[in-house]
Amino acid sequence: MEKKPSLFFFVILDIESLSREEIELIMATGGEMKKIMKSGMKKADYLKGKSVITLFYEASTRTRTSFESAGKYLGAHVVNINTASSSVTKGECLKDTVLVLENMDCDGVIIRTPMEGASVYAAKVGKPVVINAGDGAHAHPSQALLDLFTLREYGKKDLQGLKMVIVGDILYSRVARSNIAMWKKFGADIHVCGPMTLLPHDISALGVTVDARVEDALRDADVVDVLRIQLERQKNGLFPTPREYSRQYGVNDERLALCKKDVVILHPGPMNRGLEISYGVGYCGNAAIRDQVNNGVAVRMALLNLTLGGGEAK
Ligand code: CP
């Protein structure tokens, strides 16, 4: 897809199509946006006069609320569409829905869907800026961007050669795909670990090391991204029982001790505590999980500002 000839974006669909220069711009803009968030006056007029619509075909707490907050903090008019109470339930297709929003002069649509490629399609058929807020198992670019922003805050400024581990349900995980794409751009040594039934058949083509034992994956890790077991997407029988999964792959205090002392623990949320991550690890000093949520707002402010015309932070 053709890009505008500047460091302004008109779609954010995946990590693969962002250059390192563009990612650095998003990081820098996110830093400026965080200052607005923390200033005590969460109000700027960068997006005054712009309208943003969140169109979520799947449940969300963090992503939808942070895009809504981000738009409002920057002065945009934000409307949320819950597809369960929209004309989607009457059979309206994605193209017609996007065109309806376009006909309302909406400037930007933030889309989450279970359909891989739906945001790419929406960007093709409609004029509004499209930001992919997660499409099936394909991509969750804003999550990978906020994860990078958070890692830098935790001192992981250069990912070159760092041992970065993703544990869990890689097969159904758009977070894993986007983070692998991001971390590869920055030269990390990426390891993945999970039940064979939850690994994509082409996992080695992604340029990662597959560790069969979680202990091997976690040993001397600099960063661990614990993935949610997506019970809503899975067929039954991909692992024997939640208890068995937790015993074999759960990140607990004992396994945390195998990592480097300054390991950063990420989790995109929502956490199944006691399943893929223990209560202790979820709230330990190495866990950046609450900061990920906080930074999600700042990074999404940056994305809205860079796509909807506010451009670089002043
Ligand atoms: N991380 C993430 O996408 O969370 P939500 O599903 O709550 O948006």
- pLDDT, one tens digit per residue, over 197-222 is 999 998 888 899 999 999 999 999 99
Q: Which of 309, 314, 308, 312 is nearest to 109 (CA)?
A: 308
CB-neighbour burial class of residue 21 (10 A; exposed 0-12, middle 13-18, buried 19+): exposed
What are the pLDDT digits (tens) for 18-31? Answer: 999 999 999 999 99
Name which residue sits closest to atom 4 of ligand 1, judged by CA. 62
List, chain by chain if needed, residues with CB within 6 Å of any ligand 1 atom: 60-63, 134, 143, 268-270
Q: Which of 61-75, 138-152, 168-182, 237-251 has the lowest mean pLDDT?
A: 237-251
The Cα 255–Cα 217 span in angstroms is: 10
Distance 63 CA to ligand 1 centre (A): 5
Residue 90 has a CB neighbour count (10 Å cut-off) of: 6
Q: Give the position of tokens 């002043």.
A: 314
Report the pLDDT value the prediction gives residue 3, as an integer from 0 to 100: 40
Mean per-residue pLDDT over the chain, rounded: 92
Q: Where are the domains of the chain?
A: 11-140+293-307, 155-287
Look at residue 242 and tell me whether its pLDDT is greater than 90: no
* Sequence letter at residue 165: V
45-83: per-residue pLDDT in tens?
999 999 999 999 999 999 999 999 999 999 999 999 988
The Å distance, Cα 141 to ligand 1 centre, comes to: 12
* pTM for the predicted model, two decimal places: 0.94
Q: Is the dihedral of CA 120, 126, 129, 133 positive or negative?
A: negative
Instruction: Determine contact, residues 28/82, Cβ cutoff 8 Å.
Output: no
Q: Is the pLDDT of residue 134 over 90?
A: yes
> Quick check: 95 pLDDT over 80?
yes
Beta bridge partners of 165: 191, 224
Give Cβ neighbours of residue 133 (< 8 Å, ≥ 6 apart): 54, 56, 60, 63, 64, 67, 110, 111, 112, 119, 140, 142
Residue 175, pLDDT above cutoff 70 = yes
E-assigned strand segments in 57-144: 77-82, 108-113, 129-135
Section 136-164 average pLDDT: 97
Q: What is the topology classification, in CATH, of domain 155-287?
A: Rossmann fold (3.40.50)
Å from CA of 126 to ligand 1 middle: 25
The percentage of residues in the chain with a pLDDT greater than 90, rounded to a whole number, is 84
For ligand 1, what atom is nearest to the CA of residue 140?
Answer: 3
Assign 235 a pLDDT band (cuts: 50, 70, 90): low
Q: Whose CA is nearest to atom 6 of ligand 1?
A: 60
Q: How confident is the model at residue 5 (pLDDT cuts 50, 70, 90)?
A: very low
AA letter at 256? L
pLDDT of residue 234: 63
11-140+293-307 and 155-287 in the same fold? yes
What's the gap in Å between 61 CA and the centre of ligand 1?
6
Query: Would you say domain 11-140+293-307 falls under CATH 3.40.710.10?
Result: no
- Ligand 1 atom with the smallest distance to the CA of 112 is 8
